[in-house]
Amino acid sequence: MAILKAVCFLCVAVAVVEAFDPYAPPDTTYKGEDEVTLKDVVFLIRSQSTPWHLIKAQATKADIEQQARIQKLGTAQVFLLHEQYNHIGYWTLLPLIPRLHKDFGSYKWLFFCEEDSRVSITGLLNVLSRYDSQKDWFLARGLHDKSATIIHHFRFIEDTSKFKYPDFEAGWLFSQSLLKSLAARWESEEHKADFAIDVKHELAYYIWNDGKGTSVTHIPEFCAGNIGLNLDFMEDDIIAEGISTSVNEEPQKCVTAHPSKLPMCGEPVSQDDVLFAVKTCEKFHKDRVPIVKKTWGQYAANIIYVSDIEDSSIPTVASGVPNTERGHCGKSMAIFKMFRSDAKYAQHKWLMLTDDDTILSVARVQKLLACYDSNDAVVLGERYGYAHMAGYGYDYLTGGGGMVFSRAAVNKLLDSGCSCGKDEDPDDMIIGMCTKRYNMPVTHSPLFHQARPDDYSEGFLQHQTPVSFHKHWNNDPIQVYQDWFMKDDMQLFATKEQADYTKEHDSKDEL
């Protein structure tokens, strides 16, 4: 491919064979009759304000603008949603529909993508030539569930394959006509407080409208997981030279791309930087805790099991809070106070709160945290929302997949007076309310998962490197760990052992 031939020395992941070049000629075999140009499309990136995520979104914006400039297609209209709309629930999209129609209703097509997505402009225009923007079109890489799942409210239990929802990472589109129809419908309805759990499914379900609306049209040219990592930025002249010297370029099927690997932000954070705090109770000391110890717990250099009682066989740390059947806010606040005040934990820069049935990779957590600054108030995990549809909601991290807090974030929460009304209050939602009240962004990573692997579309999991899953129910948690995480954690342990061995022998040599 033209770009890769010219700049292979700039590839972020040298060992990965890239399968996407935005400058490769599109496959015109299925080109349609509608004439679509760049001025007909607006690009909207579902961005976040946290520095690392903002950098990625800005890189996606710059890539689209650069393609337009180099190929003399005109000026690309690209917007970061978190900057365009001062609305805490902007990422749920549905409450934005009237504003999107007001601001961008003159465009024939709205293209949405994630902060790490890539798109070939010429390839996209080629695809859009097959569709009439004056009809209701919802274009995407279609996903469907393997079976009815709790995160999708067990919808379509008879046949989950009949309902498709968009793969956000591959990019997706509204036609002008569909946006107009949705805006009119939204304005005519009353909207109650509700949860935002999996936005891509909830968006598609709303648009489907009990079979009276518009379904996702699957676009095979929309791809994700077809690259390992995105390339570094390159100057215009380097790209132009690569294009001009390419010979016999083969048409490219995929017009979008999204990386499948964890980001490379330098060396993983040290094991000493992270304290894992597992919330448990006497009831699960002989059930769930042994599974944690047999799997990821053995690779965590610093791990505590926080329970309602002391149990020397584990051992546990007593929280001083009676066990509650649900909520666990009192226990989480007790852990925050331990992390902040106990000298044993003073060296740790990060706190990861998990349930006793969370399944995760220690190695991947350490690698991911290299992308964040522990001096910032970082609150990281899988983001849910409450009451955004009603206009007064807040974001929160769902606890099952693990919640990560920088020391700065823990200090700010406690200094600001964040507390529970009752010990059994839902800790994740109380913390979410505090983050809104004290203006702390909740940072979303799609690599944390509240549910089991079986609860997610195979197509979705195929193009990512997960950090966590949740639940021992109706699956084998040890097998889940072995299938998804064990290899990376074993590699981490082997690397640490080698480093310790080298350090020990270097010290002996000095003597």
**Whole-number pLDDT of residue 236:** 87
237 φ, ψ (degrees, to nearest 5): -70, -30
**With 70 as the cut, is the pLDDT of residue 24 above it?**
yes
**Whole-number pLDDT of residue 32:** 84
Sign, CA torsion 150/144/116/135? negative
Residues 6 or more apart in contact with residue 409 via CB below 8 angstroms: 376, 377, 378, 379, 440
Lowest mean per-residue pLDDT among 13-22, 254-263, 418-427: 13-22
Residues 6 or more apart in contact with residue 381 via CB below 8 angstroms: 397, 398, 399, 401, 402, 403, 404, 443, 444, 445, 448
**Whole-number pLDDT of residue 40:** 98
**With 70 as the cut, is the pLDDT of residue 262 above it?**
yes
**Whole-number pLDDT of residue 508:** 45
**With 80 as the cut, is the pLDDT of residue 5 above it?**
no
User: Considering the chain, what percentage of its residues have pLDDT values greater than 70?
Assistant: 92
Q: In the structure, what pLDDT confidence band is assigned to residue 12 with cuts at 50, 70 and 90?
A: very low
**Whole-number pLDDT of residue 384:** 98
**With 50 as the cut, is the pLDDT of residue 243 above it?**
yes
**Whole-number pLDDT of residue 494:** 82
Tens of pLDDT along 372-399? 999 999 999 999 999 998 888 999 999 9
Mean pLDDT of the chain: 91
Q: What is the mean pLDDT of residues 116-123?
A: 97
Tens of pLDDT along 424-473? 999 999 999 999 999 999 999 999 999 999 999 999 999 999 999 999 99
Q: In the structure, what pLDDT confidence band is assigned to residue 34 with cuts at 50, 70 and 90?
A: confident
Lowest mean per-residue pLDDT among 103-107, 177-181, 245-249, 367-371: 245-249
**With 80 as the cut, is the pLDDT of residue 82 above it?**
yes
Q: What is the mean pLDDT of residues 111-117?
A: 98
Higher-pLDDT residue of 437, 240: 437
Q: What is the mean pLDDT of residues 403-408?
A: 98
3-state class of 279 per DSSP? strand
**With 60 as the cut, is the pLDDT of residue 123 above it?**
yes
**Whole-number pLDDT of residue 13:** 34
Q: In the structure, what pLDDT confidence band is assigned to residue 3 with cuts at 50, 70 and 90?
A: very low
**With 60 as the cut, is the pLDDT of residue 10 above it?**
no
Q: From the CA atom positions of the chain, what is the Rg in Å?
A: 24
What gap in Å lies between CA 464 and CA 427, rounded to an integer? Answer: 28
Tens of pLDDT along 292-342? 999 999 999 999 999 999 999 999 999 999 888 777 899 999 999 999 999
Tens of pLDDT along 130-179? 999 999 999 999 999 999 999 999 999 999 999 999 999 999 999 999 99
Tens of pLDDT along 195-215? 999 999 999 999 999 999 999
User: Considering the chain, what percentage of its residues have pLDDT values greater than 90?
Assistant: 82
**With 90 as the cut, is the pLDDT of residue 358 above it?**
yes
Structure tokens at 312: 């020397």
**Whole-number pLDDT of residue 497:** 60
Q: In the structure, what pLDDT confidence band is assigned to residue 74 with cuts at 50, 70 and 90?
A: very high
Are 351 and 339 in contact by the 8 Å Cβ rule? The answer is yes
**With 90 as the cut, is the pLDDT of residue 289 above it?**
yes
**Whole-number pLDDT of residue 250:** 74
pTM (2 d.p.):
0.92
Amino acid (one-letter) located at 293? K
- Write out 416-454 in H/E/C secondary structure: CCCCCCCCCCEHHHHHHHHHHHCCCCEEECCCCCCCCHH
**Whole-number pLDDT of residue 249:** 64
**Whole-number pLDDT of residue 231:** 86
**Whole-number pLDDT of residue 322:** 87
Structure tokens at 133: 């923007």
Length of the chain: 511
DSSP secondary structure of 327-387: -BHHHHHHHHHHHHH-GGGTT-SEEEEEETTEEE-HHHHHHHHTTS-TTS--EEE-EEEES
What gap in Å lies between CA 197 and CA 29, rounded to an integer? Answer: 39
